[in-house]
Chains A and B, each alone.
Chain A
Amino acid sequence: MGDTPVLEISRLEEIFEDDTAGIADLLEAAMGTGAANQATLRDALGRRALDEVMRAAHAIKGSTANIGGNEVAAAAAIIENAARAQTWDGIEPAAIELDEAYERLRAAVRAYRAGIT
């Protein structure tokens, strides 16, 4: 996804200040939610249910943007916008990119946790 960072942590640092353990907890909780959202999205894609695809992508976009998971959020935005426009154009490659970005995000979250212990 070009220059979009996998995990932009500065916003959370501004909010949580020195509470790095709190940030790590939040990131891990978001990964748990993310896994559930990913499953919902895959299911909706498999059933070609555009409205459900849109809602699942919207949820992923919001929750990952909230923690600075901008790469995943960007992929989710492409899927949401296409689904909102009632077209499948661009959705499948964006879904593949989203899964890959999620893996990178999980790795970044693990790295963050490792960095503070």
Chain B
Amino acid sequence: MNPNTTTTPNKVLVVDDVQTNLTVFAKVVAQIPETEAVCFTSAAEALQWAGQNECVLIIVDQSMPEISGIEFITQVRGRGNSYTPIVMITGHSEKELQREALKRGASAFLGKPVDPVAFVSLARNLIQLRGARLETMAKAGAAHADQQTATGALFAQERSTLETLVKIIDLRDPRTGDHCRRVALFAEAIASKMGLSMIEVTQLAQAARIHDIGKLSMPDRILNKTSRLLGDERDAAKKHVADGTAMLAGLTTPILHAAGEIVHSHHERFDGSGYPAKLAGPAIPLFARIVAVADTFSALTSRRPWREAASVSIAVEQIEKESGFGFEPRIVGAFRDVMPELLDIRAEVPDIVQIK
């Protein structure tokens, strides 16, 4: 039978190899408001139609010569159509057959001959359920899309904010900017070696770029001093931790929040003798513990106005001596393991600023 091709939107697909059965079904379907039957005696043709058209309900006979009702249902569901209700019509009453059909995706059964009142009632309920399900899916999809858009915008905003802060640090003091870049790359290498997730490593690498942001408020006389800091000057320099923490306070996006933790805790020591809070061990945020090692290595191997840069071997020796005291042994181990990579980074981001 050729499919009915009128333009009524709600189609009910009916598949039965017996033409007279289809004639009766078409009449029964006509009793459901705003629907019309699209009938096929060939299950293969019906499958083809179902793949190209939308329908609100599928009625399929079980016993057909080319494709059984169960196989038909399997193929419809296999093509990703999980929401169109399917009623299987069968003269069989075997429980096993019905269980199998349910497993394959049938929504309900009706026995032959179909009672028109029961059929119309069932069909209307199933069509309503389909509508509600599609509505729910659409709402969920829209909510997900909105969330994705909002999240994307948030990440873009966060990245933009971070880049701005990095630029400000560079403009205020290029030497600190270079140091922050090196520390971020060192920390990334160490964290990767430690087996942190890709997301964590990325967050750490970004957040560490502004770990010394507190130096923005450091007085020039201290920031640019060409001799060793003494007494009150050292205390003033330490204040960069509190100032940086205050600058980033209230920022809750992942990278900037992580940056806040690093800024606040990267001068803590593993044994609890650091500053500002004398945190110890795991009480110190992990990112800050990693940055502490990277920061020390960068500082030791950089020239200062009052001293030459330490050699790599001496810097490594000092850091290893602090294992279990200033630094977490696990991080020192990873630091040692990635030394070739750290040396490459150091060559790529040297301390190029001329010391005054």
Contacts and interface: CB of A to CB of B under 8 A. Distances in A.
Interface in A43-68: 55, 58-59, 61-63, 65-68
Interface stretch (B23-31, B239-247, B300-308): B23-31
Given A58-B63, A62-B112, A66-B18, A26 B24 contact: yes
Interface string A74-113: 0000000000000000000000000000000000000000
Nearest to B94: A84
Nearest to B92: A58
Contact of A29 (B19, B27, B31, B117): B19
A65 B31 CA distance: 21
A33 interface: yes
A66 B19 contact: no
A16 B19 CA distance: 16
A15 B27 contact: yes
Most A CB within 10 A of own CB, among B23, B114, B116: B23
Given A15-B116, A55-B63, A66 B27 contact: no
B10 interface: no
A12 interface: yes
Contact of A63 (B21, B28, B116): B21
A15 B21 contact: no
B18 A33 contact: yes
B20 interface: yes
B223 to A, nearest CB: 92
A14 interface: yes
Contacts of B63: 55, 58-59, 62
Contacts of B152: none
A63 B64 CA distance: 12
A12 B24 contact: yes
A30 interface: yes
A15 B114 CA distance: 11
B231 interface: no
Most B CB within 10 A of own CB, among A14, A61, A66: A66
Contacts of B254: none
Nearest to B61: A62
Given A58-B63, A61-B91, A65-B91, A11 B20 contact: no
A11 B113 contact: yes
Contact of A62 (B21, B23, B31, B116): B21
Given A11-B113, A29-B20, A58 B91 contact: yes
Contact of A16 (B27, B91, B114, B117): B27
Given A58-B91, A67-B24, 5 more contacts: A12-B24, A15-B27, A22-B27, A63-B21, A68-B113
Q: Which 5 A-B pairs have the closest CB atoms?
A: A30-B20, A65-B113, A15-B27, A63-B18, A66-B113
Interface of B: 18-21, 23-24, 27-28, 31, 61, 63, 91, 112-117
Interface of A: 11-12, 14-16, 22, 26, 29-30, 33, 55, 58-59, 61-63, 65-68
7 contacts: A12-B24, A16-B27, A30-B20, A62-B18, A62-B63, A65-B112, A68-B113
